């Protein structure tokens, strides 16, 4: 197992290198000039040239790339072209809201979706099963931002239970912190509840037809023990896989949700950096997201051996 983890960690290096090359090339080849955005419409040609020289944009692309890679290897993510702040400091400042939103979303999704999937599989073909499947299709079909605006309309504007926008850190109290995350979590979790519930249902149904399930029932075990102790454990591999994929996909969902609810997280930082053509910030965030994605896949692969002892690396 240790050798497998080490090999996978070493495989991260070429993946991250490829991501760095692609991101750097796309940003530099995309039309637009960050110097013009910084200087404004009234800037002269001499002022634009001076800004490009200060930012290093007058250098050939390959020179800019090697300078950036050298900074990365030394642990320096660069400095924001717009604010002049170190990119690492900006990421640390914005990480709290995004991390809180991701953890609350995946926790709520798993706690709701897995029991729903198990019950739908147990009541296969019955009314409850059809309701769960219909709700899952609805959850897939409605975009996150539409769900977010509907929640804001009902719970914030009409009822006044939760704030329309904004974020309260945990240091200001548990209830203000949780209150600011309720609607973003509900909006973002709809898709993942639908996804996990459907996969859980399908996996449980496949396992319920196996011989060991019939043997467990023949021994007189209660249906709850059969479902949770035998069926769920043997169906856990695809469920864990889809939960891991869901965690990775949260990256894109966070960008939309944080923009709608005005949360000062990494998603908002991505939007601000893209609009401002802030190259160092965009590059650092995409590398961070890619590393998190690869790390989650490694954790999921490792968990396979916990749920299925037959799997060995």
In this prediction, what percent of the chain has a pLDDT beyond 70? 87
Q: Please determine, for residue 237, whether its predicted confidence score (pLDDT) is greater than 70.
A: yes
pLDDT tens for residues 138-190? 887 888 888 888 888 888 888 888 888 888 888 888 888 888 888 889 888 88
Angle at 140 between CA 139 and CA 144, to 5 degrees: 75
State whether residue 86 is helix, strand or coil.
Answer: strand
CATH architecture of the domain formed by 95-307: Orthogonal Bundle (1.10)
| Other Cβ atoms closer than 10 A to 164 | 14
Per domain, the residue ranges of the chain are 2-73, 95-307
Q: What is the mean pLDDT of residues 90-115?
A: 87
Whole-number pLDDT of residue 32: 63
CA–CA gap between residue 226 and residue 215 (Å, rounded) = 10
pLDDT at 55: 66
**Quick check: 32 and 47 in contact, CB under 8 A?**
no
Between residues 309 and 176, the one the model is more confident about: 176
Considering the entire predicted model, what is its pTM?
A: 0.77
């Amino acid at each position: 197992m240790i050798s497998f983890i080490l090999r996978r960690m070493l495989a991260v290096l070429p993946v991250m290198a490829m991501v760095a090359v692609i991101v750097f090339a796309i940003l530099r080849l995309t039309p637009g000039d960050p110097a013009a955005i910084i200087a404004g419409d009234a800037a002269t040609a001499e002022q634009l040239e001076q800004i490009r020289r200060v930012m290093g944009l007058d250098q050939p692309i390959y020179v800019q790339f090697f300078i950036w890679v050298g900074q990365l290897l030394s642990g320096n993510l660069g400095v924001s072209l717009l604010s002049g702040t170190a990119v690492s400091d900006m990421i640390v400042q914005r990480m709290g809201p995004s991390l809180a939103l991701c953890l609350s979303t995946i926790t709520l999704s798993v706690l709701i979706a897995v029991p729903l999937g198990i019950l739908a599989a147990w009541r296969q073909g019955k009314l409850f099963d059809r309701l769960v499947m219909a709700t899952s299709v609805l959850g897939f079909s409605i975009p996150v931002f539409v769900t977010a605006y509907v929640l804001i309309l009902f719970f914030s504007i009409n009822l006044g239970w939760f704030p329309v926008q904004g974020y309260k850190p945990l240091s200001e109290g548990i209830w203000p912190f949780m209150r600011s995350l309720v609607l973003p979590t509900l909006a973002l979790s709809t898709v993942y509840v639908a996804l996990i519930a459907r996969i859980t249902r399908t996996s449980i149904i496949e396992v319920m037809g196996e011989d060991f399930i019939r043997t467990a029932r023949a021994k007189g075990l209660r249906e709850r023990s059969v479902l949770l102790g035998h069926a769920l454990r043997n169906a856990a591999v695809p469920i864990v896989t889809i939960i891991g994929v869901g965690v990775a996909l949260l990256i894109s969902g966070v960008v939309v949700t944080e923009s709608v609810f005005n949360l000062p997280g990494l998603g908002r930082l991505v939007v601000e950096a893209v609009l401002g053509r802030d190259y160092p910030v965009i590059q650092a965030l995409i590398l961070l997201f890619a590393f998190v994605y690869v790390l989650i896949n490694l954790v999921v692969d490792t968990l396979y051996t916990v749920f299925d002892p037959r799997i060995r690396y």
